[in-house]
Homo-oligomer: A and B are copies of this chain.
């Protein structure tokens, strides 16, 4: 269709459409919006993209994204080092931190075991988790999402960790099954924390 989209606009829309949850029509809408933004705003956006990618790396202890040597949670001496909450991704850490209730540490797996997607345990940060299980650690809370894969990953980890004499708990099924942790409301998430059971 002549004139409907210029190559540069098509390219930008394609970039937006490659992001999760953005369909073709929304991507076009966003691309058109960029054309209407001030040039300084567009530069700032491009720079924010590059900066985020360049300055953010993975915390060598908990595997969360961070900008300093350690992430703020691992660097915080007041956190309870005897509890490690294991989550799938950083979004879950944010959801839990926003509760302002949990005072232990985190460990981010960067995914879940999913044979369908070709993701085996070796692709997750499990080695790094096991290396953290010093005698100081009394409890590991498995807070993977309440999905089939999250559940399977929790079972897998529980079988690995229990023999080491560490208490292993799982968040209570107060969470709506099939949902992802990041969209849970605070109250539900808190209930799930309180009702966590040993597995």
Give A residues with C-beta under 8 Å from B. Answer: 1-9, 11-12, 14-15, 18-22, 25-26, 28-35, 37, 39, 41-53, 55-56, 64-67, 71-74, 76, 89-91, 93-94, 97-98, 100, 106, 182-183
Residues of B within 8 A of A76 (CB): 2-3
Residues of B within 8 A of A67 (CB): 6-8
- The verdict on A53 contacting B66 (CB below 8 Å), with A2-B76, A4-B94, A94-B4 known, is no
A42 touches B34 (CB 8 A): no
A183 partner residues in chain B, CB cutoff 8 A: 25
Which residues does chain B contribute within 8 Å of A91, judged by CB atoms?
Answer: 28-29, 32
Residues on B with C-beta less than 8 A from A73 are 2-3
Q: State which of B1, B22, B35 has its C-beta within 8 Å of the C-beta of A98.
A: B1
B contact residues around A106 at 8 Å (CB): 3
Residues A50 and B56 in contact, CB atoms below 8 Å apart: no
The 6 A-B pairs of least Cβ separation, nearest first, read A3-B73, A3-B72, A46-B46, A4-B97, A2-B72, A12-B52
Whether the pair A65, B6 counts as a contact (CB closer than 8 A) is: yes
Could you say which of A42, A66, A71, A106 has the most chain B C-beta atoms within 10 Å of its C-beta? A42
Partner of A19, one of B9, B18, B25, B33: B33
Closest beta carbon of chain B to A124's beta carbon, Å: 14
Residues of B within 8 A of A2 (CB): 72-73, 76, 97
Contact (A42, B35) CB under 8 Å given A30-B20, A91-B29? no
Residues of B within 8 A of A90 (CB): 32, 35
Can you list 23 contacts pairing A with B, beta carbon distance less than 8 Å? Answer: A1-B97, A3-B73, A3-B93, A4-B97, A6-B56, A6-B65, A6-B67, A8-B48, A8-B52, A8-B56, A9-B56, A11-B51, A12-B48, A19-B30, A20-B29, A29-B91, A29-B182, A32-B65, A32-B90, A34-B52, A35-B52, A42-B53, A49-B49
